[in-house]
Chain A
Amino acid sequence: MALFIAKRLGAALLLVIGTVLVAFLLTAVLPGDAATARLGERAAADPAIVAAMRESMGLDRPLYEQFAIYLGNLFQGDLGQSVQTSRAVLTDLQLFGPASAELALTATIIAVVVGGGLGIIAALRANRPIDNVLRAVSLGGVSVPIFWLALIATAIFSTQLRWFPSSGRLDAGAIPPPRVTGFYTIDSLLAGNLPLFAEAVGHLILPAIVLSAPMVGLLMRFTRASVLDVLGQEYIRAAEAKGLSGPSVVFGHVLRGALVPVITVVGTAFASLLAGTVLVEQIFAWPGIGSYAYRAASTLDLSAIVGVTIFVALIYILVNLATDILYGIIDPRIRRA
């Protein structure tokens, strides 16, 4: 197992270095001048001001030198400074990362519970009316554009019914809980501040449900197929023939067998949720990595763009690594392969 993990870690490290190189080069050759993008109409027409800005951003050096400096700083944990926030990119990632992670994780939990649960029901009731209904629902979940769903959900649940706030992680101007994990729900509980916890949950639910919708549909279909596949296996019939009770068969045998492919889907979907929250974060004014990346791209904030790219790549790599390891634990045949 140790060798298996070591191999996977080695491959992950190579992948990170490759990602940094590609992200840096692609960003550097983007059209547009990052220095003048920061400057106003009059200042951009003044060569002295433009030169000073280029120098302060390090853009006056040759590209290879910029890359060497960047790599050198990176190894010291320095991702450069963001032009839009005037803070270190690493600090920004620490500030905005947990907001996205909290949202993506909640969406994943909702998707696993709802999608997985409904997938199991659909499989156990295969080809009956409830299965047909659930399959139609899952198709809807996968096909509905997320921005549309977000706007409809906000219009109904925020504007009309006023059940949930429409934006932010807390009410406007509320003071966040003392930072421990960066997850407002957990941190407010740790601080023993129940009203703030309720506020954080209230703000989290609507964007999380919207974000989870496509994944609910996907997981429902996937779980259904996986459970159906396992139900047809000989060992299930053998277990039933031995006289084991229904729940024992389902929880002890069927789910364990169906789990491996579902874990892959959950892992990859979580990573893609984290990377792809841009739309949902924009609509719900959620101060996460998605909003940060959107602004970075529109203001040519190079350090921030590269920083976010590396961050997202790392998440993908770590999630894949975790998935591989989980695979190995659940099915020992995989790590021996």
Chain B
Amino acid sequence: MKRSARLVGAAAVTAAAALVFSACSAPADDADAPAVESLVIDKSFDLVTADPARMFETTGGIVLHAVYDSLLTFADGNAEEPLPSVASEWEVNADATEYTFTIRDGITFSDGTPLTAADVVYSLDRVKNIQGNGSFLLDGLSVASPDESTVVITSETPNTAVPAIVTSPTLGIVNSALVTENGGTDAEGAADSDTAEAFLNETSAGSGPYMLESFDTTTETVLVANPEYWGEAPVYDRVVLRNTTAEAQLMDIQSGTAHVALDLGSDQIAGLSGDTIVSTSSSPTIFFLFANANSGVSEITSSPDFREAVKYGLDYDGILELAGEGAERAYGIVPSSYLGALGADGATERDVERATAAAAKLGPNPTINLEYASDFSSNGLSMGPFAERIAAQLAEVGITVNLTPGPIATTLESYRAGTEQMGLWLWNPDYPDSADYLAFGPGEIVGLRAGWAAGSDPELEAVMAEVSTETDAATREELYQEFQKLHNEAGVIIPLFQPAASVVSTSAVGEVLYDPVFSLDIAAIGR
């Protein structure tokens, strides 16, 4: 019996040892290899489609900015001045209702077909008629091509945001013949009749520096350099964009499995060691809090006394502290790098006495619900800690905040329906222009979610109307500042902070900058 025990024991130990041995002998990564054959980028995906006309997500923007050229573009992290791209130059009329773009000569799509003005018109009309996520970009705009090298965009009302809007990867120029051949159409009714998405998820039809090698919304998407590209060739011939969680990104960048990581939070970055370069800048994302102004949703949050109590009850620096290094306070709803952004002058500071007095006018123990998405993070930040701190700060002035976290799929629905008493959310710019932030005014998309119906604040709305048709930059700057001062005074929506945006890269790749428009400009890496 004893012998049998030894035999069986030996067999088991041998089996276990064999496993461990085979594990140890697996091929290891060569950490010292300086050359990078394929550039590997880790990103937590929100990828849905590679069809520009249907795409309006961050990861999609990163991929499609590399694959499709737009009329104009931004470069080097500068979001102020649109630069020539497919359009070599452009002109605008005096009242900003007609933009004329000259199409650059010699641009071909990756299959060698020349790019013409007709492709531009087709691409933009297709976006409009597909009625997808990004169709709003062309609201009130119409596109025409009087000749092969000219495109004219006409706006129903003066619109100074057009140059910024046409940089969007959603408005990337597709090869119209190829897309039409594969089920695409730019005609009215394209929402039903266009069937080119499946084709565009497999084959790229653009003129950008890269082409799709493979596209998968859940695992990895691979790009290869476009040999027909008309501009400066990218440094890396092959780029692999992988879908990984922030935790996995930390491991990957430390082990050298990935060369760039995009979603690491400041805590994770603080723990990095060795061969990594961290590039941190301020993101144009705005985290904000709102108190619903609709008395049907809450008698308490719709009261001006409540808004005053919240406005002076919050410790903004205490909230900013949670956002980590590199984050900055949002003094107004327009991000700090955009025209008309407010500075620290006149910023609201905590005044517990004033807030307590205002809260006391609401009656005994005012209690409200604060909703936020518990399963969502942006720039490495989750909403939970901020909600908790806000609740603690408001408790000090006599307001009880019940935290009501939920999955984003459900909280997003109540937020969009305008039924949240208080909400903690964020806003990423749709295009890099201050005009995008008029959405926060009464009667506009975010304003309505905060129960702020049109006509609620005539003075504020008058400024919004004026700035949307103003063409002089200096006057627009003043008007955007006025808009934000009045917006802050109303106190329905309270801007909190702009998080830091960090890109971590290995030294083999060099520093990789966060791009305030495209998040990451893949073709610029290594230049």
**Partner-B contacts on A (CB < 8 A):** 31-33, 36-46, 48-49, 52, 84-86, 96, 110, 113-114, 116-118, 120-121, 124-125, 151, 154-155, 158-159, 162-168, 171-173, 195, 198-199, 201-202, 205-206, 209, 240, 245-251, 282-285, 287, 291-292, 295, 298-300
Contact = CB atoms under 8 A, between A and B. Distances in A.
A109 B48 CA distance: 36
A155 B255 CA distance: 9
B48 A46 contact: no
B255 A166 contact: yes
Nearest to A299: B409
Given A117-B11, A287-B219, A173 B38 contact: yes
A285 B5 CA distance: 41
- Chain A's interface: helix, strand, loop or mixed, by majority? helix
A150 to B, nearest CB: 9
Contact of A250 (B4, B238, B240): B4
B255 A172 contact: no
Contacts of B192: 52
14 contacts: A36-B416, A40-B57, A40-B134, A41-B446, A43-B56, A43-B134, A49-B135, A85-B217, A114-B12, A117-B15, A117-B16, A125-B9, A162-B29, A173-B220
Which of under 10, 10 to 19, 20 to 34, or 35 or more describes the interface residues of B?
Answer: 35 or more
A247 to B, nearest CB: 5
A285 B136 contact: no
Interface string B9-41: 101110110010011101111010000001010
Contacts of B23: 163-164, 205-206, 209
B405 interface: no
Contacts of B48: 38, 84, 86
B248 A285 contact: yes
B284 to A, nearest CB: 15
B347 interface: no
B133 A39 contact: yes
A52 B191 contact: yes
Contacts, number: 208
Contact of A291 (B57, B218, B409, B446): B218
A206 B26 CA distance: 11
Given A110-B19, A172-B242, A46 B4 contact: no
B465 interface: no
Given A46-B136, A165-B255, A173-B220, 5 more contacts: A31-B409, A49-B132, A117-B11, A165-B29, A166-B248
B40 A247 contact: no
Nearest to A124: B5
B216 A121 contact: no
A114 B56 contact: no
B326 interface: no
Given A117-B15, A117-B16, A158 B409 contact: no
Contacts of B421: none
B251 interface: yes
Contacts of B254: 159
Contacts of B27: 195, 198-199, 202
Contacts of B131: 46, 48-49, 52
B4 A201 contact: no
Contacts of A206: 23
